Structure 1
């Protein structure tokens, strides 16, 4: 009898977990009047899965209201496209609990898409043009970034077969150029001859780098003078206009002339398009809703195996939320940002793909800078690529702020500007692969931070950073109507700009990582240690900033931080110590690095350093062609020497214990191997991990 009783106990224990779970099912072919507890419709078609996510949300709320929320809940989404009439908004009411998480998931093996888009039907007008009448207009009525995008262009985008099309523009490819500013920030003549422009000129818009290669914006057009070949803008550019800088003009009927371009006729409620060539069949989609998923103040939620597409703004926003996970999601074809995590605690984005976003791929902030409490947010094992397709600069793959964000094992590739932008404290950037960034910007870093003496505790460790390009103006000749741009130009691998301080850059592999693999731009107390750098440009550039740099702005930012508080003073004693000279890069350490130059003249280092308060030691340097040379300035003295030999630099006795030797090192698939008798052991170089990059 006792054996039968024992068997019953085991049977009940095996059965109870399945019975305790609560499952709802959603299917595009379902019905919101059904119970949602069946995966497929019953024979009589009287019950089956829900049709919409909103109905599933209501079912969970009803479950809670009836006090039946005693177990985990899973919302299972069947394969298909779910076109949303409004974003899925979740808040505190929709939260799970520590032992009763709520999972929204695409069923295993399913292909599930939540779409903020609006399909449109287009018909061929003639051999060139197609027309798409709009029975209704997209929901969005504002640009996703009203500070950097102004004008009267459509607030939505057009895709065909998942390919983003261009608003009708001139030039069709590349850029036109400013000939001469006619005032400081609104009027300029054009080097190239403007085409004949028809239609309402006030509907036109320029995309412009007004005064440099690191900041772009969109501005409407006030007027065009075809006789003087000049353009007048209704709003000020952020930077003063400069000859040779680039722009293009878009959104006029006369500019619709090339494959892949489109135009919206608001009066006729019609889109005209010249589709890309060689497409046998075409599906047209407009971005419509500004958002797809919006979570505010919720906890213990997971979203898994779901694609999010075609929003005009930010696809997924999480505000003030805790213990939320996004796992194996795809976010693509987004007008603005892919994912934004604002404040909250312990939000995890993992194993996901974020690509083809108009602005940032991922924006994440959180933690308490006063107390240095970490956010606990984690960005892990994601593929992030082709972001910043609309706004090209300061819209990185991952944009970090606050305290204690962890970014690990991601692959970031193909961005117009920066890959990772860092603000705040105690962030960890580890074991990521980063390549092909700064494709449309100069004075740009793959990993960038700047202008904050108090941004301490940040670690950039064990990353592979390679093929960082840069694109910028080389020369301009107004008389000849000629502006010459070049690539590569002005990129950096790790860019600690304008006094960025307290960083640890440790154990990274940098190959072909721009004009400067690592730049310390006047900052303090940075540790550049145990990195492998191979370059035909500068490996490390340490400077004291130009004479006209305003250090008062750094001082103001410092005073606004709680650096004198006990918790900060204990954590960052160097920050509380008096500065000998705030204009000098004091307290930096450059140690145990392996540096290989392939530059024909061997020039690979540039140091602007004080005699004291800096440590440069135990590095290994090697030139594959010729002998290594160094540019250096010893601050506080009259020694400012360009192209010095390594021997002359060593004679200054600032760098100690370093050697010139062939490291006998090779890098293959982000892994370092060395010869048995490699001299890197003589400088205390520590082995690098072999698991850099995506975990597949």
Structure 2
């Protein structure tokens, strides 16, 4: 009897273990005729071959009412070449406690939208030719948008997983507008235009038409080399301005440098010059617009998967909840790596994103009417070398809506911004950001702007360092000279165009641009407990007239509702002067000038409603300059000394003293004699940046 009881117990344990989860398997050695229930093939038993078949197995499980426990699809190592986008919807959902998990195992699991080019050959002059007559590349359309117009190929080329560039002129750096011939379509060039032996019918211009912070692509209508003139097929988004940057691309006769390529559509060939010192062993063209789309689905996890070679957004989500991406790698993507729109409880963590054409991750969700949070999370990701196609306003992370968290990410090496914030109650905490805005001026490592109602956002305990920027200094049309400089025009935290209600607390700024923090006319912002070591300005506060757009946005959310009044009471306080930055607190900051010009602080603001106090300032050269315009006192000085500024009585209980601090990486160390206790400076956490 005892033996029978033991056998029964074993049977119960085995049954319970089996009931804990349903398991399916996918392997490249498998078959879609198998049942998918085993990793080892034996007759009908064995793994599926494709992800589509595994997806259908989940749908059948739900349809038959058998989704009783969590389900895991174990995907074995290999490259899974997609013939079409993986499209997920409500049929692919799990439930709370019955999640569906797609798990990569036993090595890299690559989900690819690329086409491997075959039968390529190299000519005597070093140019490679790959036939495309057997592929669908001529049907891949170029995705037209506000920022991208023209007749370029709809796909990209990658050699040994390195992104290539369409044949261009000039090969390096930029050419420059000499004179606009009208507002937005015709201009002459400072540099002498090349002779285009193959014509310009497919040519594009990549241009920053009127500033250093907005780039776009436009088709070329014609080129008049005699007049050194370019005519565009459509208007630039901003008026053309002398000295601004552009280059031409997608021109066969300009295929003359390593890493360049051209699609000869009429002859069904891709032509390229390989990167220096590289023998092409992997020649891939992206082909699918998206790799994975998820609409209206819930409770799904994707773990340890690699996504490569989409022409636009790799992973696109809309109206989802409780979706998790963990240990994802996304690279060689034409657009963003991930877009999670109108989604809640979305999370991407411990992932690696790089070589994206636009940005990294976008999350939006929550409800700006009720201020219900999305609870989206972007955590512990390494995001770098993004914005390689559209360079500006394509950040590593963009958050919109209400209540997302961006924490412990490492963001580096980009021509444009690091993080963009739109909406309310977002938390940006413990991130490390450096070497962004490398091709832009008037750019922020962390940026938000143009709305009085974007309140409750917290930027806390981040390390922002080594920002340089790049922008036009002057143009001499008569002598065909234009000068661009670095460093120029980048900010660490950029609160632009009257944005209000932000808290910037406990951050480390070390060589973080021409302004570590710019408060551009905003209201009710808290700038406290930061440490700033700068060659330029630590704090820059200015006053500006809010435009009609800002006032209109004030009416687009229910600021009169009890929810908004309770959460943001300052929003309803009377504005003494709506053109002035009021209600701001600049307290307990440590600001060190390392620059020879000693320009550390600039204030254009009223005394009324603002608090400046309990700061420590220091200059390594022994002197320090403050420029100020106190609007309601009619007190204005340019380049006053610190002691002249303090004598005005506007800033209180602050001191000029050596804080005795060293900054090493993301950590700060104060000596025992530091006066920081006198201002109530609070410790900054040491766990900033990636969690290993």
Unmatched runs of 5 consecutive residues or more in structure 2: none
The answer to whether the Cα contact below 8 Å between 2:138 and 2:265 also exists between their aligned partners in 1 is no
Deviates further, 660-669 or 641-650: 660-669
Once residues 501 and 571 of structure 1 are traced to their aligned partners in structure 2, the CA distance between those partners, rounded to angstroms, is 14
Query: Would you say 1:23 and 2:23 are equivalent positions?
Result: yes
Verify the 8 A CA contact 1:377 1:404 in the aligned structure 2.
Answer: yes
1:685 match: 681
So what's the TM-score if we normalise by structure 1?
A: 0.97
Equivalent of 1:604 in 594, 600, 606 = 600
Give distance in 2, aligned partners of 1:484 and 1:293.
Answer: 44
Partner residue, 1:170? 169
Cα shift readout 1:38-87 (whole Å, capped 9, x = no counterpart) = 21322xx5542111100001111112222222222111111110000111
Q: Give the structure 2 partner of residue 487 of structure 1.
A: 486
Deviation at 1:2?
A: 7.1
Unaligned runs of 5+ in 1: none
SS of the residue aligned with 1:647? helix
Distance 2:507 2:7 in 1: 58
- Does residue 13 (structure 1) correspond to residue 13 (structure 2)? The answer is yes
Q: 2:597 & 2:308 partners in 1: Cα distance?
A: 50
Task: Output aligned runs, 1:217-366, within 5 Å.
Answer: 217-366=216-365
**Preserved CA contact (<8 Å) 1:204 1:251:** yes
1:536 aligns with 2:532: no
- Tell me, yes or no, if the aligned pair for 1:365 and 1:402 is still in contact at 8 Å: yes
**Cα drift, residue 117 of structure 1:** 0.7
**Which residue of 105, 113, 116 corresponds with 2:113?**
116
The 3 A distance-change label for structure 1 pair 140 and 620 is farther
Report the counterpart of residue 444 of structure 2 in structure 1: 445
List per-residue Cα deviations over 1:361-383 (Å, max 9, x = no partner). Answer: 00110000000000010001111
Taking the aligned partners of 1:662 and 1:4, their CA distance within structure 2 comes to 81
CA distance in 1, matches of 2:14, 2:498: 61
- How far, CA to CA, are the matches of 2:332 and 2:199 in structure 1? 29
For 2:97 and 2:139, locate their aligned partners in 1 and report how far apart those are by CA, in whole Å.
39
Counterpart of 1:614 in structure 2 is 610
Give the aligned partner of residue 577 of structure 2: 581
Q: SS of the residue aligned with 1:555?
A: helix
What is the aligned partner in structure 1 of residue 36 from structure 2?
Answer: 36
Deviation, 1:10, is 6.9
Task: Tell me by how many angstroms 1:152 deviates.
Answer: 0.5
1:395 is the counterpart of 2:390 = no
Contact 2:144 2:150 in 1 (8 A): no
Match of 1:553 in 2: 549
Structure 2 residue 57 is the aligned partner of structure 1 residue 76: no
The answer as to whether partners of 1:551 and 1:583 remain within 8 angstroms in 2 is no
2:672 to 676, 680, 690: 676
Aligned to 1:285, the other structure's residue is in SS state strand
What is aligned with 1:93? 91
Mapped to 1, the partners of 2:101 and 2:364 lie a distance apart of 24
- Could you tell me which residue of structure 2 aligns to residue 653 of structure 1? 649
Deviation, 1:639, is: 2.2
What is the root-mean-square deviation in Å for CA atoms of aligned residues? Answer: 1.5
Deviation at 1:202, TM superposition (A): 2.3
Q: Is the 8 A contact 1:24 1:36 kept in 2?
A: yes
How far apart are the structure 2 equivalents of 1:376 and 1:636? 42
Please tell me whether residue 427 in structure 1 is matched to residue 423 in structure 2. Answer: no
Task: Give 1:159-238 correspondences, 5 Å limit.
Answer: 159-238=158-237
- 1:667 alignment partner in structure 2: 663
Per the TM alignment, residue 553 of structure 1 is displaced from its structure 2 partner at its CA by 2.3
Query: How far did 1:144 drift?
Result: 4.2
SS in 2 for 1:64: helix
Secondary structure of 1:448's aligned partner: strand
Cα 1:585–1:7, aligned 2, differ >3 Å: closer, same or farther?
A: farther
Residue matched to 2:639:
643
Shift in Å at residue 8 of structure 1? 4.9
Instruction: Kindly state the Cα deviation for residue 145 of structure 1 after the two structures are TM-superposed.
Output: 5.2
Change (3 A) 1:605 1:41: same
How many pairs does the alignment contain?
690
Of 48-57 and 638-647, more deviation after overlay is shown by 638-647
1:560 to 1:588, Cα distance in 2 relative to 1, 3 A = same
Q: Aligned equivalents of 1:601 and 1:321: distance in 2? A: 52
Distance 1:400 1:20, change over 3 A: closer
- Contact 1:600–1:626 (Cα < 8 Å) also in 2: no
Please point out which of 65, 68, 73 is paired with 1:67: 65
Contact kept in structure 1, 2:497 and 2:546, CA below 8 Å: no
Shift of 1:123: 1.1
Compared with structure 1, are the counterparts of its residues 490 and 11 closer, same or farther at alpha carbon in structure 2 (3 Å cutoff)? same
Please tell me whether residue 593 in structure 1 is matched to residue 586 in structure 2: no
CA distance in 2, matches of 1:334, 1:350: 19
Provide Cα deviations, 1:596-647, integer angstroms capped at 9, x if missing partner.
1112232200001212110000001110112121010010343221110011
What SS class does the counterpart of residue 78 from structure 1 fall into?
strand
Shift of 1:100: 1.1
Question: Where in structure 2 are the equivalents of 1:401-480 lying within 5 Å?
Answer: 401-480=400-479
Instruction: Give, in whole Å, the separation in 2 of the partners of 1:251 and 1:409.
Output: 39
- Residues in 2 aligned to 1:128 and 1:10: alpha-carbon distance in whole angstroms: 69
The separation in 2 between residues aligned to 1:126 and 1:655, in whole angstroms, is 72
Task: Say which SS state the counterpart of residue 189 (structure 1) adopts.
Answer: strand
Deviation at residue 260 of structure 1 after TM alignment: 0.9
